[in-house]
Every structure is written in C-alpha cells, then in structure tokens.
Chains A and B, each alone.
Chain A
C-alpha cells in the first residue's frame, strides 16, 4: 500500500525543526522511527501535508548523566537506550519495557519520544481505508460515531505504549520545546485522557529530552518489574502491560510503591489506591493481594481490542501480584 502524498522537511538543526513545526503545526506530523506514523499514513487515518524528519537531528541523539539523572535525547532509538549501561544498570525497569517493544527491528527504528507519542489504537480505527469504507468513519477518524461505545462524539481508543508505564514508575520528566519556549513536565502529564487527541502537547511543541531522575535508581532502594501480555511473544502490541516499582526502608517495610498500567484505556495510568495498600507493609501476601485487587478495579475499562475487559482485569491482578512477589524476592 502506498503512503498518502506529503511534503517532506529535512531540518538540519533542532531550531529549524521547531521553526517549521511552529509555522505549519496543524498540517504537520513529526517522523521519528516511523513504526507507528507511517502505518497510519498508509491506512489513511492520518493524512499530513508535511512530514518533518526529526530522527536525524544529531542534537537529539544522546544518553548522558547530569546532576538530576540520566538524560536521553528524544531521537535516541529504543535499542540504543536499552543497550546503554547507564540505563540498563540504573533503570532496569525502563530497559525491560523498551526490550519488550515490538521486535528488535522496531526497537532499532523506534525512538524514545516516538514510543511515548504513539497514537491510540482501536479495532475500528487501525484498519485499511478499504475496510473502513464499509460504514461511516468513526469519531477518531473525523466521523461522528464511536462504534466501540455506540455513542457520538466520544473516543475510547486505547493507548498501547510499552515504555510509558515504566517511565511513570520512575517519575521521569520530559523537556518540551515550542514557540513559547522550553518547559518540563512529568511523563504522566503528557497524556490528555482523550482517545481522539491523546497528548497535551501545545501547538508546535515537541519532546526534546526524557530525564530519568537519580531518585528512581536501585541505588536509592527502588526495585521494579515489568510484565506484558501479548498474543504472540515476538512482535505484538501489549494487550496489557504493567510496571511496578517499590522502595523499601531500612526496616524492610515498603516506604513507597508505584504501579502503572498501559493498554487498558486511552492513557497510561498510575493506581494510587493500590500503591497506598502497600505503604508501610512488609510486602506480605495479604498486602500484595489487596494491592493487586485494587489495581484490577482501577477504572472502568471498555473493550477496544479483541480481549475482554474481564480477562484484562484478571490479568492485571495476576501481573501486579507476580511483579510484587518478584520485587519481594529480589529485595530479600
């Protein structure tokens, strides 16, 4: 299938890229690895007039240690990130999540920011133009009706990012650059909780850096685990992904815990209720059972793919329990 026609901008510097984006933000998309956007352009669900190549910007390809943590340039590939000793040894949870993205080809092509900014997916939306012609377009594809909820003007397309829950467990920070200057946000703030327009990026803004703070490293007592459910072990999007991190104090009690879920709703979400159930406990079986039960009832989920919500909820419980048990074993 051919790509829809577009112009292609090849800026040489970040400044040029920002200028082009600021001038034509409404009709432009950014090209990182292209493993998501190119397919959407082929399906004609996204039809940009301009594609801006930001993957080749040398300024955005780096992994370095700073005073605040480990800074990763937005155009660094996932494969470079998970191969870096700085990330692999200090943030194994993030490396593990990156390693579970698609197949190695996708990890070698896909970028860190691109993986975060992948579009939400749904079984009515991510189909070819021919398939979708059978009925009027869905709301996300600029029609009126959501066929999942059978309601007008809503969109329940699901966010399927792998690295987002792991980055949320590290409380990673993003640096954004736009016409109004540079700002920094927590990774959780990137998501707008809306299937149709999933990101809070302002007009003309792009992610330039992901910062993994020192505070979330195992040296400060954090241990984590990442679990992913998918149809085939090799290349699939997650049907569910769960990232869990916990920090124990000197007395062996859990001082703080973070649980994040992806592929369940339009944004990756933390589950504070489940996290609270673990605080101050020795991560005993009862506390783990309570936390995993609370995680499974984190929100009202709606089925957008081929797996029932009942099964997903069951698997959230199983994954959170297994992850916490693994963390308990490792800490012991």
Chain B
C-alpha cells in the first residue's frame, strides 16, 4: 500500500501550524516531531499513564492514542501554551512552589489534566481532584504533593475569579 504524506493543519496554543504528515501519525508524534513542542511526554504510549495529556477544545485527551488528523479544526493546548508572557499558570506555579515534581516526566500531563478540571470546575473538591487525576500516573512522588499543589492552585484560581467578579 502506497501511502502519501498529506497536508495537515492544526491550531496549537492559538497558533495555526502546518506540516505534511502520514495519516497514521498520532497527535503526540506530530506535536513533538513535526512542531518541536517536546513538553508533552511519550511514556507508556498506550493511553494508560497520562504523561502525554493535551487539551483538545479544553478536554483532556491522551495524545499518544489520538490520531492527529481526527483533531483538525480543534483548539489544541499543550503544556507550552500555559505560561503567558513569562508568568506561569497558577497550576504550574503551585507545582513548583509546593514540590509537586520529582523527576518531572509525568508533570506536563498532571498539569494539563488539573488545568482542564479547574477551568471546568474551579471549586473542585479533593475527591473530584483525585478522580480527575486518576488517569495520570506518577512513580516518584506518591501523589500527596501533587494533590496539595492542585488544591492550592484551585484556591488561587477561585481567588482570581472572585477578584475578577468584584472588579
């Protein structure tokens, strides 16, 4: 079977990016290898560990098992798209401040999942956070500091929301 590379246009972190790619490439492969955004990690590669999590229209997707062509025309957010003008996103900052990172390989996945949860529900309870993060595996931290970081980021996001409502 002779397969050709086809033009592929994806909107990643608000920017329209173009490449020529085979139709069987996963979103993770295209983002890392064609666009050079290596923040999202390839870990289990079978949709079990969550290290490759990206947001597609704000919804966490395991990019290692998402076919790149199936998300054309959607807004894709990777870990590179969170910091804004040199300021870290509250979830990123909380992970740094509270030591929610050890080797750091799973961290982009955790941060993207946590960001999606807090965008959807800034008042998420500890139980809801645990449930949302269940699909992200970390082999270093034991999860306690990660949970602390997300709880702290939730407070930050709520405070920012309250301030925005007042002003």
Contact = CB atoms under 8 A, between A and B. Distances in A.
Chains A and B bind each other: yes
Interface of A: 1-8, 10, 31, 34-35, 38-39, 41-42, 49, 51, 53, 55-56, 79, 102-106, 108-109, 233-235
Contacts, number: 93
A223 B93 CA distance: 46
Nearest to A32: B70
Please indicate which of the listed interface residues A4, A49, A51, A79 has the most CB atoms of chain B within 10 Å of its own CB.
A51
A38 B65 contact: yes
Given A5-B3, A104-B131, A31 B48 contact: no
Given A34-B66, A105-B50, A109-B62, A5 B24 contact: yes
A55 B29 CA distance: 21
Nearest to B3: A5
Interface string B131-155: 1101110000000000000000000
Interface stretch (B53-61, B75-83, B95-103, B157-165): B53-61
B46 interface: yes
Contacts of B53: 105
B22 interface: yes
Contacts of A34: 65-67, 70
A53 B70 contact: yes
Contact of A5 (B1, B26, B61, B132): B1
A261 to B, nearest CB: 24
Contacts of B61: 105, 108-109
Nearest to A49: B1
Nearest to A80: B59
A102 B99 CA distance: 28
A234 B3 CA distance: 39
Contacts of B25: 3
Interface in B21-35: 22-26, 29
B67 A104 contact: no
Interface size class of B (residues with CB under 8 A): 20 to 34
Interface of B: 1, 3, 22-26, 29, 45-48, 50, 53, 59-62, 65-67, 69-70, 72, 113, 131-132, 134-136
Given A105-B61, A105-B113, A108-B60, A234 B23 contact: no
Contacts of A56: 70
A306 to B, nearest CB: 16
B135 A102 contact: yes
Contact of B24 (A8, A103, A109): A8
10 contacts: A31-B67, A31-B70, A38-B26, A39-B46, A39-B65, A53-B67, A104-B135, A105-B50, A109-B62, A235-B135
Nearest to B4: A7
B132 A104 contact: yes
Nearest to A39: B46
A2 to B, nearest CB: 8
Which 4 pairs across A and B sit closest by C-beta, in order of nearness? A103-B135, A234-B134, A8-B23, A38-B65
Contacts of A79: 59
B109 to A, nearest CB: 9
Contacts of B113: 104-105
Given A55-B70, A104-B113, A108-B61, 5 more contacts: A31-B70, A38-B66, A42-B46, A51-B67, A109-B65
Given A34-B66, A105-B53, A109-B66, A235 B134 contact: yes
A235 B133 CA distance: 10
A38 B71 CA distance: 15
A38 B47 contact: yes
Contacts of B59: 79, 108
A5 B61 CA distance: 22
Contacts of B70: 8, 10, 31, 34, 53, 55-56
Nearest to A1: B45
A171 B3 CA distance: 44
Contacts of B50: 103, 105
Given A49-B1, A53-B70, A42 B60 contact: no
A109 B134 CA distance: 15
A85 to B, nearest CB: 16
A55 B67 CA distance: 12
Nearest to A8: B23
Nearest to A109: B61
B134 A10 contact: no
B24 A4 contact: yes
B62 A104 contact: no
